[in-house]
Amino acid sequence: MDAMIEDMFARLMAEHCTPTIVRKVEDGTGEQASAALNGLWSEIVQTGLHDALVPEDLGGIGLTLADLVPVFRLIGVHAAPLPLAETMVARAILARAGVEAPDGTIALASAPEGSDHRVETPVVPLARTASHVLVDCGARIGLFASGPQAVIASGGRYSLSARLSFDRAAASAWLDPTATLRPVSALLHAAKMSGAMRKLLEMSVDYANLREQFGRPIGRFQAIQHQLSVMAEEVAAATMAVEVACDGTGDGLWPDVLKAAMAKERTSAVAPSVSAAAHAVHGAIGISAEHDLHLLTRRLHEWRVAEGAESYWAREIGIALLSSEEPAVDFIRLALAG
pLDDT by residue, tens only, the chain of 338 residues: 568 889 999 999 999 999 999 999 998 766 778 888 888 999 999 999 999 999 999 999 999 999 999 999 999 999 999 999 999 999 999 999 999 999 999 999 998 766 568 899 999 999 999 999 999 998 889 999 998 888 887 767 889 999 999 998 999 999 987 789 999 999 999 999 999 999 999 999 999 999 988 889 999 999 999 999 999 999 999 999 999 999 866 678 999 999 999 999 999 999 999 999 999 999 999 999 999 999 999 999 999 999 999 999 999 999 999 999 888 888 888 888 76
CA distances from 121 to 113, 129, 265, 281, 313 (A): 10, 16, 21, 37, 19
Q: Does CATH place domain 182-336 in 3.40.50.300? A: no
2-175: what fold? Butyryl-Coa Dehydrogenase, subunit A; domain 1 (1.10.540)
Q: Residue 262 and residue 110: Cα distance in Å, rounded?
A: 19
- Using DSSP's 3-state secondary structure scheme, residue 43 falls into helix
Which secondary-structure segment (H or E) carries 274?
A: helix 257-282
Please report the DSSP string for 89-110 in residue order.
HHHHHHHHTT-PPPSS-EEEEE
- The amino acid sitting at 214 is F
For the chain, domain boundaries: 2-175, 182-336
**Residue among 254, 275, 280, 263 at smallest CA distance from 314:** 263
